[in-house]
Chain A
């Protein structure tokens, strides 16, 4: 690890901790109301969802329309685990999150292996089909609460856990996608046939990225289940998948910071403009269309917003760059 990388890691960790203590401080002081706290939790969940979908859509370059399906698998399996009370309390919750991620990842492999033989529009439609099948099956079986939904899930609104699970998830996805394996995934996005010819196992890496994406959607689902306390399969329909896709597209397909930022903005915006809520979806759809017509790469494109670069610019004199 070279020096600049070390500095950038340390700055990031420091900034994350400062953000955490500011938020906790504001909560203690009562500046952040219970309502605002609830929104913060939803923001964190949406960040994980947007970043995880960014792995397939942005990094792998394949559109999936069934992301909410993976989220629901994670939510239900985590909820069923904690509800069974095998391990009570917070440790059970933490393990429940892992269970949610693992089961969603497993379903990701099951869906991904056959689905990824197709690409483009066909992949989009087949993932949509899988998402709907997952939803129908959840409503069909009894152990998931059927059409009435699952109730009595222990509610843990532990902000600390949610905050650090989000940070760790984003950090994990970012480091996987900037590693050797991640670069193989990026290569497939650029040109699948060429990367195949260059010796990249395209089938493996496509499934790999797809599974990573599913795992973290499951983690987000687990957080969601324990935040809401009740689950219904209808919440995780096609429209939810689209809402997550909008976040990724708006932020910039392939940009982790872009996905994070737009998840924050698109979660706060409708809450901040309550009276405007009726027009929210109209605005969403117009943004999507206008964005694709005039800036199809999204706000940040594939660029990442890096705080260390800005600090560098502020500290260093202009002449220093020429080392």
Chain B
């Protein structure tokens, strides 16, 4: 029973990784860029929500609705970052892209640190429901909401990619850049849409994250972002179900390590899994093998 509870908790944190890694995987699939700033978008989302709480409390609105301003701000920020920092570098060497992304990440962290200070700020309870009791197991409602929301959003995203014109344009662009241009796809707006969706999902993830770990801090996004990227690589980068699978595996591995081996070693185990997968199958669990073109 204890084990089952740990696995459910793992699924819950894994869902957050999964939501974040969807943003990584989509951006990487299309722009071939590790958007290091993605983790910090989550941090911005969490801070936005925290700042909006007094306003929402004044009008007696439910606190989880602060996700709306968080989504709006994150989407604007994500699109702006793409427009200002990444678009001019689209044909530059990969190393320049990677360093710019690191720069944007540091910039977001340090601006927030300058405005709000480097300390942890506590976060009020978002979902005020009693925990679900099944037999001797007590499940927090936020755990269930997190898992359900992730599954629903992933299915919606998958449908969007396969059924709509914009989604198909995104798939085509990630498949072949030049050819999609030839058939009349607007690459710029497609990539912009990718960043917008990724950042919106990150904002949702930020609310779920603070409902499980009720505190915010300027650097909270960096480790979360790295782990989410690990999840994306684990499942096969560029593949949406892969990101979710990777997130779940990572979350469960981490929770079980914390519970049964050592909480200190959890990060080492997570990165160890990444190294193993990359060495055995560099394209990830669900990844397709690609031959290198000369």
Contact = CB atoms under 8 A, between A and B. Distances in A.
8 contacts: A63-B95, A114-B275, A122-B282, A125-B233, A129-B274, A132-B268, A136-B267, A288-B100
Interface stretch (B8-16, B42-50, B106-114): B106-114
Interface residues of A, number: 42
Interface stretch (B59-67, B84-92, B140-148, B208-216): B84-92
Given A136-B268, A296-B96, A114 B110 contact: no
Interface in A271-285: 278-279, 281-282, 284-285
Contact of B222 (A115, A136, A238, A245): A238
Interface of A: 57, 61, 63, 114-115, 117-118, 120-122, 124-126, 128-130, 132-133, 136-137, 139-140, 147, 193, 238, 242, 245, 249, 253, 278-279, 281-282, 284-289, 292-293, 296
A286 B107 CA distance: 7
Contacts of A114: 275, 279
Interface residues of B, number: 44
Closest 8 A-B residue pairs measured CB to CB?
A288-B103, A285-B106, A129-B271, A285-B107, A289-B103, A281-B110, A136-B268, A296-B96
Contact of A133 (B28, B233, B268): B268
A101 B127 CA distance: 53
Given A125-B229, A140-B262, A238-B222, A296 B275 contact: no
Given A63-B95, A285-B110, A296-B96, A126 B278 contact: yes
A253 B275 CA distance: 27
B272 A279 contact: no
Contacts of A293: 85, 88-89, 100
A296 B110 CA distance: 23
Nearest to A253: B95
Contacts of B222: 238
A129 B85 contact: no
A132 B267 contact: yes
A275 to B, nearest CB: 14
Interface in B221-273: 222, 226, 229-230, 233, 262, 264-265, 267-268, 271-272
Nearest to A137: B268
Contacts of A289: 85, 100, 103-104, 107
Given A132-B268, A249-B99, A293-B100, A126 B106 contact: no
Interface of B: 28, 34, 85, 88-89, 92-100, 102-107, 109-111, 113-114, 222, 226, 229-230, 233, 262, 264-265, 267-268, 271-272, 274-275, 278-279, 282, 292, 294
Contacts of A242: 102, 106
B98 A124 contact: yes
Contacts of A124: 34, 98
B99 A282 contact: no
A293 B98 CA distance: 12
Contacts of B271: 129-130, 132-133
Contacts of A284: 106
A278 to B, nearest CB: 6
Nearest to B268: A136
B253 to A, nearest CB: 14
Contacts of A147: 264
Contacts of B267: 132-133, 136
B233 A288 contact: no
Nearest to B103: A288
Nearest to A57: B95
A115 B282 CA distance: 11
A128 B225 CA distance: 13
B35 to A, nearest CB: 11
Contacts of B96: 292, 296
B102 to A, nearest CB: 6
Residue with the greatest number of chain A CB neighbours at <10 A, chosen from B34, B222, B278 = B278
A279 B111 CA distance: 9
B104 A282 contact: no
A61 to B, nearest CB: 7
Given A133-B271, A289-B104, A296-B93, A122 B278 contact: yes
A129 to B, nearest CB: 4
